[in-house]
Amino acid sequence: MAADRPVSDPWAVPDVPILARSAHDRIAHRRTDEGWVSAAWTDPGSRVLLVSPAGTVPVQPDGWSLRFVAPSEAAVEGVRVLLGAAGDAVYLALLATDEITGDVTGVAGCGWRGLRELATELTDLEVGLLTTAVALQAWHQTHRHCPRCGAQTEVTKAGWTRTCPVDASEHFPRTDPAVIMLVHDGAGRCVLARGPQWPAGRMSVLAGFVEAGESAEAAVAREVREEVGIEVCDVAYVASQPHPFPASLMLGYTARVAGDPRLVIDAEEIVEAGWYTREEVRRAANWGSEPAAEAGMPALRGLPGTMSIARQLINAWLLEDLEG
């Protein structure tokens, strides 16, 4: 399975964003087939992914391959989910309600790791299964009651819906659209900025949630205006990837500044922002963990991680693919 692991080159522009990769069939038509799903949960050939309340999963001794267990080994309380099928194998997830202790048969002695750590190491099949399982774990944890009447809902459709026993309303896993955009000037510079949660020197492209009643393109223009005070044109879609931390879908765009490029920062959301050349952006990744107080260091000395669609947008722009 080594062939479909992503390349580790930090400047790579993958054909498909890291977390958007997938190689299983979701077999949605089976979710309502209760007999088939029950049989899958007793078939020793089924492969079960155990997901802890924190979203971590057991890994093999190599430290980065997912460790699936047989249904009989997955003896913990939790939400049972049909993830899908690939080849002859059926993949299930058990989204644990309580912390999993090391004495669970199938995972004794395993290391546990999370999607953020594993993403760039996993195969297409593994990352598609894990991203889905983590998204569903987060949703089930926070949507246990009916939003109409407050009653406790029941897990239905093999873990893909929750149904209210009082008013029969059906509730689906939430996915919140967010836009993330590389703003350039059409002349070799792009805008990078840092939010208050990021360490000094580490910057990324702008991003924000799509609001109710708003298109993604309008959200790009509004977020850029709000965060750095400039107008944009040529808003163009690039790619999307799920971001289940806890429930986003990141929609990647580029946009070109229209008119005055002077940045006026919204101090609530942005600590610093600037226009940077390709040379400055390439250099930023080489600083690594240099001490922050060193004199003469550039304002930009760190980039988002290679798992992120932000980094993919930046890398593609560095190759001059994304500047029209």
The stretch near Zn ion (CB under 5 A) out of 61-69, 98-106, 151-159, 265-273 is 151-159
Query: CA 283, CA 263: separation in Å to the nearest integer?
Result: 22
Q: Residue 152: is it exposed, middle or buried by C-beta count within 10 angstroms (0-12/13-18/19+)?
A: exposed
Query: CA 30, CA 33: separation in Å to the nearest integer?
Result: 5
Q: Is 144 in the site for Zn ion (CB under 5 A)?
A: no
Binding mask 205-244 for Zn ion (x = CB under 5 A): ----------------------------------------
Minimum Å distance from CB 307 to Zn ion?
38
Minimum Å distance from CB 157 to Zn ion?
17
Residue 66's beta-bridge partner residues? 59
3-state helix, strand, coil in the chain (%, to 5): 25, 30, 45
Minimum Å distance from CB 162 to Zn ion?
10
Residues in the chain: 324
Q: Is 162 in the site for Zn ion (CB under 5 A)?
A: no
Q: Is 54 in the site for Zn ion (CB under 5 A)?
A: no
The stretch near Zn ion (CB under 5 A) out of 21-29, 49-57, 165-173, 253-261 is 165-173
**Chain Cα centroid distance, residue 85:** 22
Q: Is 163 in the site for Zn ion (CB under 5 A)?
A: no
The stretch near Zn ion (CB under 5 A) out of 38-46, 163-171, 296-304, 315-323 is 163-171
Residue pair 203/292 in contact by the 8 Å Cβ criterion: no
The contact set with Zn ion (CB under 5 A) reads 146, 148-149, 151, 164, 166-167
